[in-house]
Each structure stands twice: as structure tokens, then as C-alpha cells.
Structure 1
Amino acid sequence: MHDIQQALLHNLEVLGTGRALAQLADDFLDHFPDPCRLARRHADKILRRHTGKVWNPDQVWWHQFTDAASSSRSYTGWAHYQRPIKTRRFTELMIERFDVGFQDATDELDLYGGFYSQGPHAQRFDERNEVPMLARDVQKDFWNLDFAQVVRDEVETFWKVRTDDFRVLAKVTLLAQCKEAERAGRLTAQDARQVRALVSSVLASAERAPTLELLRKAAGEGEMHINVYRPSVGRACLYILRPTSGRVWLYMPYDDQALRAFASEQAMAHWLRGWATTTEGMQRLRAAVVADEHLGDGHDAAEDALRQLADSSSDAAALKLLQRYSTPGSGNLFSQLVEDARSDMRHNAKLMVDNQRLRKAMLTGYLAAFIKVGALLVPLSTGISLALLAASVTKVWLEVDAAAHARSRQARQDALRGAIIDSIFAALNMIELGFGASHATLNYRAPFHETQASLADWQPVAHPQGLLEAREAKETLDGLQQGRQALRGIRLDSKGECWIDLQGRPYRVRYSTELKTWLIVPPDNPFAFGPIRPVRLNDVGEWELLGPPRLAGGVPGDGLAPQPSAFWDEYMLTDEQRSEVLSDAALARQTSLLEQSDIPELASDAEPLVDEEGFDYVDEHGACTYTYKHDGRFRNHLIDLYTMDDGINDYLRQGVRNFNYADEVSYLDKLADALERLPADAEVPLYRGGCGERGTSGIHFRSGRFKKGDILVNTDLTSFTENPYIIRKFSADTNKVSPQGLEGVFDDTSVVFELPAGRYHSGRPIAPFSSHYDEAETLFLPGAYFQIDEISEITGVDFRFVNVRIKQVGKPRSGPVYDLRSGEPFDRGAYVERLGAPHLVDRFFAP
């Protein structure tokens, strides 16, 4: 058992280094030139430029046909009622390009092909599922872009900027692998000391924890001979290291038993030969071989080399085979790892189809199959770069296709990040106090409003209870252990949780290394997303809450006196990369919810059925089920259409029938059935922006007509987002540019609704089904009632809006109810007349 206080003090001491390394890992992964991510980014721009709308490139298909029917209603002038002979998702098409035969015959592209929002199983390909753009225009974009060259340039830029970061991560990984190998008995204590010295002589002692400064310094390894085993196309498989002691270390960074020491090379060959004869050993060696059938080069040669090793007649013969396929390394392990990873990425990028290769193919009429799309769409490339960063993750990922990759990329990146965090935790000798709490402190990815905040001007808040109401705990602090040193003023419970007493009330806290202070957090979720509440000990040893300037006097009154917000100062910025991070996290969270639900899965070689109105579904025990999983992703055609077509909300808001795909009432019945079967969730705060330009004005909240306790109701399909970066484009006029050069100008109609975590119950997360997954939506059917908790005005450098904090409640028994979108009193009779569908109104607004 660890003494809780001592363990916490140690963890706090190294937490700054750990958090810095975790941030370095995040930056490394976020900037890694993943071809799929790059393809999606450029595909998104092409789709938006030609259609004026945002599409998910992975849900846009290029279909090729042998016949066509003239159509006056379709964008291309053609429709198709046969199954396509060839199909590619738009992301795949970015990489593969159009067939060589179409490169000159551009007129035939739009006759015999087209872009559609349904896969090859659809019964029709016409204006109802067409993506309105011409293939010949897209082909010009492909030639102008030359995507293969884009990837190569990104690879070079990445290594120019991130080489030192790779070295740091490689060192952290080696330290963690060394600790595990010594504990398992594969390294002696002396071996382990020398391995740690490869990182830094200062770290030879096991008690010394690394710092970022130490890891950044060039390693002083002394005499070290390195041989690199390359069974195929010059690519690294494993490393044989010989220190001056005469020992031999076998380093297999891809393997979960990465380090193993031997008395001699002969002993190493003996073990490796025996290991290769086992099924498990051969599988793990194959997992390390970079060459793969998807890459089209060297696979057979690598297989043959490994088989020769397994079949060698003696240890001496095995050693000769190792020597035959080995080359001398650079003498510096980490420089060698950098060079191998960089060469591997360059090699893969070189195999892509570029303009030059396509021009040659046009002359010969033949384009060699240099590489399969599936191989390029593996996150973080293949081989040593992947293996080094996540020893437990193998190249089985190469077996996925582009469709599966698109939805699982974040999950894979999370797996890589998790492996790196595990290495950091081990390398820093951090101590787990139970239930993963210590690991979570390191693993937690601080939100941008925490990492980017400055507390220099923040002052004590005299009356903090209003700001802290939702975070007050019911715990009693009597009898809890008093903290000392860096934990002065903190109370420690038996689980290692940290608490403070502020003005006689208990609050849970966690330490923020980014802000170098303690933060009050929700007692049941210390890493919940929300505004930061920093505290400090004053001169008399009492805790006090800090607030930004102009909040120092306490909580604002009932009026709309402008007040600042450090939270919205960050999220009203336009930062696509940061926004993508939050959207990816939201998608992963929502996908995890669906994974835990009983949702049918369609076999990979099967196709969905299509109902009488053209909506995709699967048959589940004789019933039409519109939500299902296929090709590694969750699907719901009804939800996807909602995210792409405003027509259904035009009907709900105005009674206008311009939904082209099907009858509005029938569609809404099906959609409501499907949504109600999805898991509900209220774990995160939600936000919704509006302005007069978008038909959701907030001007009525400025008049004083609304107050705390008033009830609002939605009469349309109402979406909120988990990603506050999204809010600016909905709460401001995006046709104008602010004085700071950001898209979007705010006015008196700008409004932001805020739904705190745990304060709603009927919303359904829909990002995994959406063409706009980046909007991280949770959708509410009409008829959800919300009570106003607070109305305030938030101002910043170039933004201002009415902030309406609400919570979902049941239908009130009496009293007025107001339309959330317009502020007008809700009139049920007028709503029935507008929709012309009494049963639909009864469904959403039960009498």
C-alpha cells in the first residue's frame, strides 16, 4: 500500500512533465500527415466549393454506369436506374483518381457517372439522392491539386517540424519498455541501467524521473553498435544493439515484449530461431514487417526471409541469416529510429498516383496498381512509426478499407494516444491510487479554454456561491487527512480525491498544471467540460475563488449588464484545427454510446434494403430498422437526410412542403421512431446558437419580457452541439467579417442557449449518423420543454450575445409557454393548422 499523501506529492511533482509530454504527443498525433485526414480535408473543400453546402466526403459516392436516362430534373441532366459497375467514396476517389479512360474523355464522365448520397444498393440515382456537381469539374480540381504531391509535401513538412518530438516520444517509450523488461526478467539491473543511459546518463538511476529538458537533449550513448534487420525493401524489422559490455540487446519496438538481453549474438539467434518456429512468434514477426501485400512491394521477399530464419538448421545458420539481412545502424538509436520512420513514410507516399504517373498512364492506356487505398488510409502510416508509438497495436489495421477507416480513425488515434500515455506514466514512475484516477489526471486532455487562459488579471470573487452552485458537494470534510507541502490547504480522502473548504462549503478540486493552480470541479466528474473555476489560498490560509475582471464584485444581477467570459473568449475564435479536435472527441464519445447499445449490425458483404420511399434500412426480425452498423460505421439514412436538407424544418416552422425526398409526415414519423430508439445521454454540456439571419432571434430576451422560470418549447427539430467552436457560425451573420478579420458579425439578435450537463433528458446524440459530424449534434424532437435558469449578456473583443441558460423540464400543467425559436406564445391550434397533420402534433404535444 502506498501512503496516499506521499503518492500524491510524487505524482504532483512529475505531473508537469507528464502533462507536457501528453501535450507533445497530442500535437504530434494531431499534425501527423494521415492521408485519409488530408483527403477528407481537401475533399470537403471541393464539395463545398461546387455545391455551396457541407458534405461528409465519406458519405458521398462516385458511381459509374454503362447506361443513362435523360432527366430535366437532375443536375447533370442524366439519371440512372441500374446498379453501378464501379463505386468509390469521394475520399477514396481523391486518392485513386478517375479511371485513365476518363482522363481524356471528360464529357463521358457526367454521362456515365455521377455523385450521390447513397451507395450502390440504391434503387435509383437521380435528383433525389444526387450530389449536385459535375465530375468534369472535379477532375480539373484533382489535376490542379495533385493530391499525391500534397501528401509528400506534408510528410516533408511534418518531419522538418516534428523530428525532435519523435525523438522525445521514442525515448519515453524506451524508458517504459525498459522498466517492463526489467520487471519481467528479460533485462538484468545492469542492462536496464545501460538502456536508461541511452536516453541520458542522468537517468541511469531508476529513481530519477526524466524531465522534458532532459529528454530534449541529445543522448550521450557512448560506444554502441547497432545492426538493423531489414528482411524487405530496406525496411526495419528489429534492432540488434551491442554495448561495450559484450551483451546483446534485441529491440523489437513493435512488440509488447520490446526489449530482451542475451549474453551473446549466438544466444540471441538461438532464441529468435526458436521463437520464429512458434505460431505466435511468426505472427508477431510478420506484424513487424513493413512490406505488405497492400503496398505491392517486397511482401513475398519478407515472408521468405522470415521463413528461412524459422527453418534454419542451427543457431549459427540463423545468425548468418540475420547478418545477411542486416545493415549497420547510425550508432545513435534514436537517430536511427527517426530515419527509419521517415523513410517508411516517404516510401508509402511515393507509391501514390500523382499527375506525372497519370500522364504516363494516359499515353500507355494502363495505370499499374501501385498501392491499394486501404494501405494508405492506415492512420499514422505503417511500420516502425506506428509500432514505436504503440507497441501493442499491430498492422492488422491494414485490413480495413476506406469506409471503415473514416469512422474508426479517431478510435485508432485514441488507442495510439493511450499507449503513449501508458509509456509516460511508467517512465515517470507515477503511482496509481485506485480506479484509474492518477492515470486519468495524466490522460485528461485539457480543453482549450484551460490551456489558453491567463489568470494574471483575475481577482477574488466576494460572493462565489452563485457561480459554484452546481459544483457544491454533499461531502463532509471532517476527519479527512490534511495536506502538507504542495498539498497545503487540501483535504485528502481515502481514494486520493482532493477537497477544499471555501466559505464553509465543501468543493472537490484538481490541480491544473497548465494554469499552475487548483480548480473547483464537479464532485462526480473532475474532468467535466465547462468554465474554469480557479482558487487560491490567501494570506490568512483561506481559499478564495478567482474571477475575470468585472466579475470581482460578485454575480451579476437580473439585468443584462455586459460581462466577460474567458470560456467564450476562446470558443468564439475561428480555429479549425482546435474545433476538429473537439468534434473528433465528441464523435468518439457518441460512437461509444452507440457501441454499448443493442444496434443490429449488417454483414460486411451484405447491403441494406430500401423501403418504398427510398430510405435505407435493415430487416430485424421482420421489422424495418433504420439504425444499424455497417462497414465499421453507424448509419441512419433518415438522420443523415435531416442533416443535409433544411426542407423538413421548413415544414415544421412554416408549413412549407419542399422536402423533395418523401412525404414530410411519413418521414417525421419514421425519424421520430428511429430517434426514440437511440440511447439518451446528458453527460456533457450542450450549446445552441442563433441570430436573426438564421431565423432564431434572441432580441426578445433583451426586452425584459423573459425571466428566470419561464418555459420555452421547441416546435422544430432542434439541435445542440457539444463543440462550442461551432456556435459562432450560427449566432453571427457569417456574410460579414468582424474588425478582427473573423467570419461573423454579432448584433442584438445573437443568442446562445446553454444546456448544462445533467440538465436534459430527451436529446439524442446523432453525430455518428450525420453528414456534418463536425457539428457534434444532439437532436431534440419537437415538444421538448425548457425552463430558463439565467439570462445574461456576454461580450468579448469582437462578439456579444444573449446567453440563455436553460434546463429541460416536463410539460407544465399551466401557465404560458413560448416558442424557443421566436419567443412567441405557443399556440397548439395554430401549429395543427400549419402542419395539417393532427396525429403528428398529438405525438409531439400530447393533449
Structure 2
Amino acid sequence: MTPTEIRPLPNAADKAALKAIATRIIQTCPSLQDTAHEVARDLLKKYGITDLDPDRVYFHRFDASQSSSKAFTGWEHAKATPTSSMTLTQLVIHRFRVADQDNADLLDVYAGFYTAGPNAGTFDETNEVRLHGNEVLKDFWSIDFCSLYTDRLTAFWNDSGTDFRTLAKCSFLGKAVEARDKRQLSDEDFQFITTAVIGPITWPVNLQLLQARHPCSDSVRTLDVDQYTSTHILRFIAPKGRQIVYLPGEADAFQVLETATDMHYWMLLRMNKEDARQTFMAHFSLADRQDIAENISDIMNRLVSTWGKYDHHLINPKNQAITGDAFNWLGDSTKDAMFTEARLSLTSDGDLRKKLWIGYLSAGVKVFGPMAVVGWPVALPVIGASIANLGLNIDQAVNGNTAEERKAGILGAVLSGIDVLFNLLVIKGPGALEDIGAEVNAAEAKEMAELMEANAPKPAAAVTGEASLIEELTPTLPETRQSPMVPDHWQANELLEGETPGAGPGKFQGIFQVNANPSTAIMMDDLAYYVRYESDLNGTGHWAIIDPENPHSFRDSIPVRLNEEGKWQIVSRNGLKGGGKTPATAGTSTAREPNRAPTVPLPASEYDVPPQLKPQLEDGAAGSDDDALRDAYDSLDDFDAHRDFKAIRKRLYRDAIRFYADLNLPERPPIPQLNPNATAEEIIEKIFDHARGLVIGESHDGIGSKQWLIDNMALLARRNVKTLYMEHLLTDFHQAALDSFGQTGVMSKELERYLKVLDTGNMTDPLERDTFLGLVKEAGKQGIHVQAIDCMASYRLNGMDIVPDQERFIDETARQKMMNYFARSIIRTDQAVRGAHKWVALMGNSHSNTFEGVAGVSELEEGIGIRVEDVAEGTSHGIEVDPGKILPMGNDIFDRTALVRGDLRLQVETPWIAQSMTEIEALLSHQGMYTLKLQPGMTFLVHRSRNNSIVRTLIQNDGGRYYIERPNWPSVSGKRYGGIKALLQGLDAMGLKLAGWSKPL
């Protein structure tokens, strides 16, 4: 825009109104799965069952039974596999079989409701749900779920049909702008398709344009294959036979096909592989999906044979033109599809359309396939929701987040699209989009202030509904933050000198296009970095520096922008919910090396092994000489270093006992009140507002605790945390190497070997990222000193006898007393020698806070303890007051369990929660699913095979190159991979699916 050119700025009120429309539509759009879940939940409440999720209540049928006086129904099924299974939610949709109406009294005999899935093996009073099948059958007659859901559909389309087409138009235009921005559409293509369905566009867009009707040109057609017509794909016939296809809800919403042959080949690609076909089929009606699934071999054979003959009669044979407004057609077609699917999917009284119910959750029955899309409203992709993220399959419907959380995620994507569209001032030259930046912020701030003043209720009232959207748009002042660090290994392996970055205004200004993957890069501080464009929830998006070894990870990216001088700088953004990583924050330069000041060594502790004894005790300190450490063992040599060590160990124990006997605890700092969805930055800020120390308690095989610390180590450093105190590391055997590493950045081979053994023995992250080794390295990278808080005497307790008054007994908390007491002395010495400073500590959850009456390090050192729990995807409750957890304490003579509890509990989602074979069998609910099972020194790939058996395959290590031996998987068998993650990517390319985890690894 020239200085004299004046253009109107986007209308903030229009944007707020459109966001309110999107919020209302997404919240009210009926979902068959959610409506059935609601009915099933109410049915459980009717019978006094309030603690079970209907998606976790299974209705199993059996071909045999045994009477039982203990079972609620009077029958049990031992060593049995159900002949069919479905959840209570699914049973609401599909009803009982017709034959059950006449044999209701037999439902308790040959069927029943259980909390265990179909692979449990035994179904009796231990896992039954106290429901009678004949009573549930009667309830279904009175509920008439079919009419209930149909009425909701009718109400939705009567109330929201007009607004739906407005959002569909908004989504189309936004996706077209995005495709042009990515150069997937040329300027001519963009102009052609928008003119065909919208007409002339005046920028910036407004609500009136989106609500207006425009008769589309004759070039707009439907898409069909072998007589099956898509319900919401638009096809544009361009000059010279080119075709442009609009695919709502897909990552690449536009495809440009130059010839009919290209169109035919593209169809083949979309239909050939299951993943691509499943996404493509989301654009077709349920009945068509069913027919295509049943006849896919015949269809593919004919598509392939005709393509080879340049015969395209199966591709778009109807070639139906869309008349009238294209977005009216999208709305009407979507409405018809939803009603038709409801009629076909739902079982009305006395009618079971079993043909369409093609799968349950049990092994041995067909996968829940073409009907899976019914679980979510098929309308949502048309208005901007991503098909890939909708969770349109039964696994995610049953195992995913709550409906509210899923809708919140979809709403975020739609609102982001609205922001992108309304923040475009004008489309200029090729490849350049002019964003309005500060102009629109100032204009919106003024307009929003006027709107809020005009709309403010005269008596004060809570802001809800649409008003909250206006509040959301109020700009906030940016904070000034310390510069973060960009890891050295993130530098791009590209020579950009002599290359020319994008010069025109718009998204690609300052961006280098390189012939690599990733394909975009920047120069910042004379160094090259790969970048990607990330869409913001409430803005137009931003470029972000990415890790070239993990370019698709959303945990690791640092946002950047061009400053007024045309130089790239780091910018701030909000942290992730639930205690996730807080991304790097604003700054104009990047420090790449931490300030490695000389480390002042601590004086030796009285419990450290003396230097002259260490050579003889190195094996014992490393855990490989257990027999010699037993008090009952003596070599009978004149000199035995182990004998001296045992005396030190006994002295430490007695001192710890005396310490705890006379203990007067210091006053605890107040525990901060935190929102469950608090970001890591908020958690850390509140903790250190009240205390100088943060103690992380973990299960040693936990991934989430180490992940959280690694992800937020830079943030801790910016909050002036100087020291990481760690259990398992020994002051007398490891501290010198830790001090050297902190000063030079070079880790000794001995220390690295010990940390790797520690990770192997505790079965930490199989991807070798969120590990003890990774944690120490990240602390060093961020300039945080790592201090051991164990010594050999506190750590190697194997065979230590406690002999008061000559009577031998077992002190169950000896380890807790000795380690906690020793850690307290080290922390206090460290704070005295190096000056009082903020610190964080990582230790087992029986050390972090009081355990069985033994005060933990948090209580001893006036810190605040957070117990970190690994949980499955979609189940995290964020951070909250710790309710405690009963854990097994090993197979000792008492076979006991004990309660662990911190001040707060943080739940972190990780991929490898299921580890027992029972858990793994339940997790691998479908053929082709896999997970990893960890055992000391070994990692197994576990998958469900084509015959539904569970198969374990050892992942072998050939000098740091990982591989498996499975001859019937020729694409991966015997192939060496640089890491287990790369091996898993090879499995994904085969069509296997990681169970229980949908995020990038």
C-alpha cells in the first residue's frame, strides 16, 4: 500500500459476530456419538451408577454361561471370549437384536454388562455392571433414541442453516487464500474459483460479503467416481481442461489437475491406500461409503484397468453442474447427508439395520469402518474443521477427550481461519499477502472499546456467550522478556549466502525457499535456521524456528518475526495448557552458549567414600558388585575397602535416625492456588513466588517428569534457577564429572555410560529423549548446574543389616531417611558455598514429600513438591492438589503398598502408559495397531496381527542402529535405523498405527 493509498480496515464487529456464529454452530451441531453417550449416561444414573463412563461399559454376548450365586445376574462366563461386543453408547444407537424382544429373559444368561473389554477372559462379579438386559431393553423402547436425535437435527438446521452457509463460505475463502499463499493456487486460479462462487471481492472482507448469495457459473460441478457423488466437494472446470478440486476439511484443501488423466490418477491415489481412502470417503454419504467398502476390489480393478487405456468414463460420469449459490448447495447437501445417515445408522423400534453396523470393538469382528464418520457431525469439515483432527473413528470416539474438549479444539481451528481472513487487508502481487498488523490492532482496540461501552449492561453482570468473544479481542500490552536460546544443533545445513529471500511484503518476506525438507529457512544473527509457518488461534500466524531432526514436532519450535530493520527476531507467545512447555519468549538476539562460570567444588562430605578407597569400590558404586556390599559378606582380607564402606553406610544410617528422632521442621511456604490448565510458566512463577525450591517427585521409569523439566529448562534458567539437584547421582563418584561438564560442556564417557545404564535399568523413554541423560545434558545446555544429592552410602543399601540391641529387623524407610538426610546436608552446603539461589530437584516420589511419616526434601528444605504422573493421551487433569496414590513397594516379605503424595500433582500425557500385557491387549483393539513394551535392557514392539493375536518382536541394537527381524515385513525387516523413532516411522509408512497416541513423537 502506498502512503497516499487509503483502504478500510477490517470490521471488528463483523469478526466478533462471525466468531459468535461459529461458536454457536459448533457447540450445537448434533453428534450421534455424543447424543447417544448422553442418553447412556442418563440410563446409568437411573440405576444408581454414577462413576462409570458409558464408553467404558461393554455389552457382551456369549455362547455359554455358568450359574453363579455371586454375580448380579446369576450367571458368569469363565475363560470366555464374547461372540460380539459393543459399548453401552453403541448399544443405544443400534438397539438389541430383533430376537431379543421375544427372549428378553435370556439376556442375563447369554449376555451382560461389564467394565472389562472383550479380551478379559473372565466375566463375573469382579467386573460386572449391575444392569439387567431385559430392563435396559424396556428402557430403549421408552427412550426412542431415533426420534430424539432426528428432532435435534431438525432443530439445528432450522435455527442455523443460514449461518452454516456463511461459515462454509468463510472457510472456502480462507482456504483459497491459504492455498494461494502456499503457491498451491496461482493468482489466476485463485481469481477464477473465487469469481465463480463469490463474485467480485472487496478487501478487507466483511460479514455482508459472506452472507450474500451469488449464482455460481457453469464451471462449478460436483465430483463423482463410478456413480458415487460426493456430498461436499466442489469441482471447478477451468479453461483448457484444467480442473480445480475443493476438499473441505483437508490439510491441502485445493488440488489442481491439468488433464483428465491427472484427475483419474489422483482418484487412484486417493482410493488405493486405506488412510488416504478413509479421508477421501469422509466426503461421501454413509450409504456410498458402505457400498464402496464392500466393492473396493472391483472398483479399484476397474479404475486401474481404465486408466491404463486412457478411458476415464468412471471419473465424473455425471458431471453435474451446481446451480444457484454454491454454499447453499453445500449446506443443503450436508443437511441431507446428516438426515440420511441418521436414518440408515439408527435402529428404530423393532428394526435392526445390521448391514450398516459393520463392526464392534471386539477382536475377531470387522473394524468399525465406513460408518465411523458418524461419530462426529459430518457438517464440521464444511465450515473449517480438519478431517484429520476430528477423531472420526470409534477408537477416538471411545478413547479420546471429552466432547467439550474436542469441540473446543475444532472451534479453535475455525476461529483461527476467521482471524486469518479478517486480518488480510488486500491481496497484492504474486505470492504476497498484505497483513495489516498494528493498523488493525489499533483500529480494533478503538472499535472494541466503543462496542464494549455501547454493549455494557447498565447493572454489572457476568460476561458470557458472545460478549466473551469481544473481550477476547481486546489487545494486551506485550511483555518484555529475556532472550531465549536457540539450540546449536537447530542450525540448518544450508548455505544461504548468495541466495535471495522473498522481498515483497507478505508472509514470505525474508524467507528463503530451499530445495530440501523443510523447504523454508531464514538467516538470523548470520546463521541459517529452518522455519515453518504456524497458524495462531487468535491471529494470522507466525514463522517459527524448528528442530531439523524433528521438523513436525509441535513441542519444539521458537516463534520469530521480522523487525522494523528487516532482521529476524524471536517473539513471545502464550504457553501450552496443562503444564506443557512454555515456548521461547521475546528478544532481539539469541544467546547460544550458557555462561559457564567456574564451578566452586563443595567440600567432601563425611559420608563420601575417601579417595584412596574409590578404585576398589567403583564396581559397587556402579551397582555391579552387590554381594560384596552385603553386611553378611566379608572377604576376610586384611584390607577390604568394602568393610570401610559398610562402616560409613552404618554411620550415615544412625545419624539419619538420630536426625529424624529430634526433627523440628521449618515452616512450610504456602502452596499456590493454580488453575488446572496453568501453563508451565504460570506454575514456575507461582512456585518461586512462594519458595526458593521446587521438588519434582517421580516414578523413576516416568517420562513425564523428565519431559516437563527438559521442555522447561530454558524457562527455569530465565527464572534464575541455578541448580538442579538429582537423586541417583553420587557426590563421591559423579560430582567431579558433573562439575567438569557444567564448566566445559563436554561430558565424560564414564558419566554418560552411568546415565545410560540408569535409563536402561529404570526403563525410561524408549525414544531416548526424555531420560536422565537427556535431562543432565539439557541442564548443561541452559547453564544450570547439576548437583548430586546421593552418595554411595545413601544409595547402595543392598544387604545392609540394621542391628539395634543385637536384634536384626528390616527398616522399610531406611533409604528414605538416609537419602533425605544426606540430600538436606548437600543442599544446605551448596547454598552456603555458592550463595543462596533458586533450585529445582528431581527425586523419587517417596523422597519429595512426607512418606510413611518420614519428612521429605520439600518439608526439610522449605520447598514445594510436585508429584508428576504419566497418564494416557486425553486423560490429563493438569495440575491440582495431590490426592495421593497407592503404589506397590516391591515384592518384599510384607508384600506391602504405600501412599505417595506431593503438595501438588501434575499429570503429563505420554505414549507408553500400557505396559502389562493385559493393558496392552486392551490398547491394541484393532489389527495393525502397535505399541512398545519396556523391560530392563530390552524394548519390544508389540502389535496385533491379522489373526488378532498379540505378537512381540524384540527391537535389536546393532552399535546404535536399531532394527527388527520380521521377514514378512520386507520394507523394515533387518533395516537399520538411527533411532527407535525412525523405526516406528517405518512401521507407520507400512500402514501400522501407534495405539493410544495421536501426536507427533
Shorter chain as denominator, the TM-score bin is 0.3 to 0.5
TM-score, normalising length from structure 1?
Answer: 0.47
Structure with higher Rg: it is 2
